[in-house]
Structure 1
């Protein structure tokens, strides 16, 4: 799943691998997928992209955005974006293929759900994308403690019994912060995923704010999480503390057993000792 660290890692890899290449062939929707969401008419993608030169790639929250002449390509959520050199064996099934004049290509596949968009610059009015562009990233100075506390007060006033997970990972409060990166953020803050906002102390809030900034920066600097793959098919360099990969390992702080529970549309991982329920 593309979350904030992965969108930045993918953008850096795209700038390294494909910037300046000319698009020769585009295919969208070759393999039908119930949860592949295309913005606009995918049959128009070839006309919008073929013959265009790849420009800069950038990250907006959980979106990877790439310029291609007067058009813009965007991928989000569960789109697996991979780069292949000329002559490499490609997946037999895919949701998008972008072939370049030198024989290399980008192939996108979707396992669960994902969004693909191609439009002329300035024409994409998807509200999720616009929100990702509008809100400050935790990687920037604009996401300061005052901004975080305003966000907290608004959420608490809206629903006092809102949980920590719901606060961080729903309603696009922090674009790009999803259920994946959430786990280590809450662990480092010492907060249970189901902890209620109304029960958090000033110390808890300070710890949570600093954990958001620190963990997301570390994940991004290390090229994404070790549960997600880069443009080149390698796992990210950030070793997750709490994830499906570490479930059978003891807590690195207290040595206790890690718990996994289904909650709010996905699994949460936590240490019952280090992250007591509030």
Structure 2
């Protein structure tokens, strides 16, 4: 699933790869995924995109926006896999959308769990997209410790650190995936209530959030995800579905896996105690 490091990486790759390319055709789904949400019919999307030239692309939050001439945009959300096919590459047999370009390259779109593919002019009527565009990025200098403490202070004190960081897009682009290493590096249990955090805990969480997200972004995303070119990210996740059977890298203890708030959390009970 696309989270902030992957969105930034994919946006950069799309611009580097497709800027200046003109769309020649658009094909609808070969095997429609029931949780893929489109802004219009395949015919409407085709009419909007054919003949358009890619100008730029950007990833923000959980979205990647591809900007074209005449103020036309194509936007994908976190559950959509967007893959580049070079001229001569075989076209996949299954996709939700396929776009071809004037150099005979193509981009295919598939869905993991759920996601949206939107084509629009000017602005997209989606509150989470607007939030992603208008929010202060956690990678920016403006997102400093004072700003972070202000966001903490504005929340109900009985919510957990996972609820604060990874639900309702309070910090756009921060989801359950990147959450695992952020909390591990801060030595905080996912179920810890924010009212129980000491000043030291809050400082540790702030620095872990900034440093972990930056490392993931610098690595071109997490190694649990693939980018626009089909490559795994270079950031090696400490806690994920691929590593939780391994011992804790800090203490050698057993990593716990639990379902919590609509997703799976991984944590070390010794390094990240619930009760302190």
TM-score (normalizing by structure 2): 0.96
Partners of 1:91 and 1:191 lie apart in 2 by 42
What is the deviation of 1:240?
A: 0.1
Gap change, CA 1:29 and 1:214, over 3 Å in 2: same
Q: Which residue of 1 aligns with 2:151?
A: 151
**Correspondence list, 1:225-240, <5 A:** 225-240=222-237
**Correspondence list, 1:92-103, <5 A:** 92-103=93-104
Partners of 1:69 and 1:41 lie apart in 2 by 21
Partners of 1:254 and 1:41 lie apart in 2 by 54
Partners of 2:161 and 2:91 lie apart in 1 by 41
Q: Which residue of 2 aligns with 1:16?
A: 16
Q: Which residue of 1 aligns with 2:84?
A: 83
Q: Which residue of 1 aligns with 2:6?
A: 6
Partners of 1:218 and 1:133 lie apart in 2 by 22
Partners of 1:257 and 1:87 lie apart in 2 by 47
Q: Write the deviation string for residues 140-169 of structure 1: whole angstroms up to 9, x where unpaired.
A: 11211111111111113xxx3211100101
Q: Unpaired segments of 5 or more residues in structure 1? A: none
Aligned residues: 274
Partners of 2:150 and 2:42 lie apart in 1 by 40
What is the deviation of 1:63?
A: 0.7
**Correspondence list, 1:141-180, <5 A:** 141-156=141-156, 160-180=157-177
**Correspondence list, 1:59-208, <5 A:** 59-70=59-70, 71-122=72-123, 124-156=124-156, 160-208=157-205
For the aligned residue pairs, the C-alpha RMSD in angstroms reads: 1.1
Asked if the contact 2:181/2:238 (under 8 Å) is kept, the reply is: yes
Asked if the contact 1:82/1:106 (under 8 Å) is kept, the reply is: yes
Q: Unpaired segments of 5 or more residues in structure 2? A: none
Partners of 2:245 and 2:116 lie apart in 1 by 33
Q: Write the deviation string for residues 195-249 of structure 1: whole angstroms up to 9, x where unpaired.
A: 0111110110010011111000110011000000011111000000000111111
Asked if the contact 1:48/1:120 (under 8 Å) is kept, the reply is: no
Partners of 2:6 and 2:129 lie apart in 1 by 16
